[in-house]
Amino acid sequence: MASTSKVDLSGEDDDEQLERFDDFTLASSWERFISEIEAVCRQWLADGPKNLLEKGAVQLDFSQKLYKVKLELKYAMKSYNMEYYFETSSGGKIADENSTLHDLQLCFGVKDFLVIAPQSASGVVLDSPEACKLLSAVAIALTNCSSLWPAFVPVHDPSRKAYIGIQNMGTVFTRRFEADRIGSQVPVRLMHLEGLYELFLSKFAYSTLDFAMHLYKVHFTMTSTYRTIHHDDDDLQSLEDPVKGLELTATWSEKTVESSLEMAELENASPHEAEKWMILPYMSPNLDSSEGNRTGFASQLRLLVDALNMSFDAQFMEDFVSVENPGSDNLKSLMIVPPPTVLDRVFKDLFHEGSQVAALAKGEHKISRAIKGAPFGSLFAQFCLHALWVGTCNIRAIAVLWIEFIREVRWCWEESQPLPKMQVQWLN
């Protein structure tokens, strides 16, 4: 910042000697923009995570420990959002691939970072010069604050989740970031580990010659996911299966490779060689949605879970059928209770048809007995199946069924009568 003056020494009056004065101390819009960013960053640095939480930092939906604060900035007739993401506690470690992380954390392993993006429908910067100018402004502001936070700008098409970024390393060096995601028309070379390995190494080489002459060792962890083939069972004359298939995730612990040939060999590795397996079922969509088929077994389970959630609103099951219950009128209008004839058929099946489930000999069905649930075909297992279909599987119908069920069990206890459909355990 400087100022200059011109003085006329021709002997004119003193009032005319300082005839012109050019002032260069007024900041440009670019400098004011940097100053605003710097002021915000200094405030966030001074507050720290604890005070930012007290001031209303928002927790991200997908993470238990990642929060953000944001501020609106304006420059060149455009509005931008600058967001600061920070973790409350991480122990200095980045979580594994199964944890919920921000895309930038997954790409670069950063913990605290800034993102500046336009307030637009896309939320990305499509103009390359504009992206560079934004990143430069944030970088200058962070340098003035002596902050080591990395800063990012979203670019390209929103579906690519692409970013460019920069970080002051505290010395004469800076670190630059570039992340992109190809969602469609992926090059064949990048569909294989060998091509990904070569692309990764190319980012560290100054030239093709440098890449060929130097030996790089890459450490990585690999996971592969396998799914059973889904068969459409809409035309099958059977109850809907809530479990649509199984998913196997095989994890290989940290590997070290030194050539693309080793990567090609790892790509064909058998899951039997993986150090860790995790098998999970993937469920019918009806379990997660109120739409679709409402008569299948999976959708009935969804209704049963809804009834369970409603049961927490009352202290006793009788409250759902009691006339004194303030909400009973609404419940009665929406939830149907089965007539006595239906209840009679249910309890005839439960208590008066058949006697006991086949006895289990010692050592038989050890796995099934280890499952924390009612044994197959037992009294309570049969009651649960009836609860799925009584009425519309609503809480009032289940409450009525449960009250009558307990009354029958109490009668057996008081009359010293054995309960039907109970397994006999042989103790040797």
Position 24, amino acid: F
pLDDT at 7 over 50: no
Is residue 402 included in any domain, yes or no?
yes
> Are 53 and 170 in a shared domain?
yes
Q: Using CB atoms within 10 A of its CB, is residue 348 exposed (0-12), middle (13-18) or buried (19+)?
A: exposed
d(CA 293, CA 311): 24
State the DSSP H helix or E strand holding residue 358, giving kind and residue range, or none if neither: none
Using the CB atoms, write b or e for 398-411: b if 16+ within 10 Å: bbbbbebbeebbee
Which of 216, 250, 283 delimits the end of a domain?
Answer: 283
Is residue 64 included in any domain, yes or no?
yes
Is residue 24 included in any domain, yes or no?
no
Is residue 290 included in any domain, yes or no?
no
Q: Which residues contact 191 (CB under 8 A, 6 or more apart)?
A: none
Report how many domains make up the chain. 3
Q: What angle do CA 189, 190, 192 make, to 5 degrees?
A: 80
Position 75, amino acid: Y
What are the tens digits of pLDDT across the range 195-224? Answer: 888 888 877 765 555 555 667 788 888 888
Is residue 174 included in any domain, yes or no?
yes
> Are 40 and 164 in a shared domain?
yes
> Are 130 and 271 in a shared domain?
no
Q: Using CB atoms within 10 A of its CB, is residue 113 exposed (0-12), middle (13-18) or buried (19+)?
A: buried
State the pLDDT confidence band at 9, using cuts at 50, 70 and 90.
very low
> Are 192 and 279 in a shared domain?
yes
> Are 62 and 173 in a shared domain?
yes
Is residue 148 included in any domain, yes or no?
yes
Average the pLDDT over 261-280 and give the result. 86
Helix (H, G, I), strand (E, B), or coil: what is residue 160?
A: helix
Q: Which segment of 100-114, 117-131, 359-373 scores lowest on mean pLDDT? A: 359-373
- Residue 355: the pLDDT is 54
Which of 154, 179, 204 delimits the end of a domain?
Answer: 179
- Residue 4: the pLDDT is 39
Q: Which segment of 48-62, 111-125, 310-324, 333-347 scores lowest on mean pLDDT? A: 310-324
What are the tens digits of pLDDT across the range 136-147? Answer: 999 999 999 989
Which of 179, 214, 248 delimits the end of a domain?
Answer: 179
Indicate the average pLDDT of the chain: 77
Share of the chain above pLDDT 90, in %: 17
Tokens of 398: 């289940």
What are the tens digits of pLDDT across the range 348-379? Answer: 888 876 555 555 545 555 555 566 677 777 88
> Are 121 and 148 in a shared domain?
yes
State the pLDDT confidence band at 45, using cuts at 50, 70 and 90.
very high
The residue among 2 and 260 whose pLDDT is bigger is: 260
Q: Which residues contact 8 (CB under 8 A, 6 or more apart)?
A: 16, 17, 19
pLDDT at 59 over 80: yes
H-assigned helices in 193-339? 193-202, 208-213, 260-267, 297-311, 328-334
Is residue 47 included in any domain, yes or no?
yes
What are the tens digits of pLDDT across the range 63-102? Answer: 778 899 999 998 888 899 999 999 886 444 444 444 577 8
> Are 271 and 346 in a shared domain?
no
pLDDT at 335 over 90: no
> Are 37 and 169 in a shared domain?
yes
> Are 167 and 253 in a shared domain?
no
What are the tens digits of pLDDT across the range 215-249? Answer: 778 888 888 888 887 665 554 545 566 677 888 88
Is residue 144 included in any domain, yes or no?
yes
Residue 86 gets the label, from left (phi > 0), alpha (psi -120 to 50) or beta, of beta
Helix (H, G, I), strand (E, B), or coil: what is residue 221?
A: strand
Helix (H, G, I), strand (E, B), or coil: what is residue 177?
A: strand
What are the strands, taking DSSP E only, across 56-127? 58-59, 66-75, 78-87, 113-118
d(CA 197, CA 15): 75
> Are 211 and 317 in a shared domain?
no
> Are 364 and 275 in a shared domain?
no
State the DSSP H helix or E strand holding residue 400, giving kind and residue range, or none if neither: helix 395-414
State the DSSP H helix or E strand holding residue 45, giving kind and residue range, or none if neither: helix 29-54
d(CA 219, CA 82): 34
> Are 92 and 215 in a shared domain?
no
Which residues form the domain of 384? 297-414
State the pLDDT confidence band at 35, using cuts at 50, 70 and 90.
very high
Helix (H, G, I), strand (E, B), or coil: what is residue 209?
A: helix
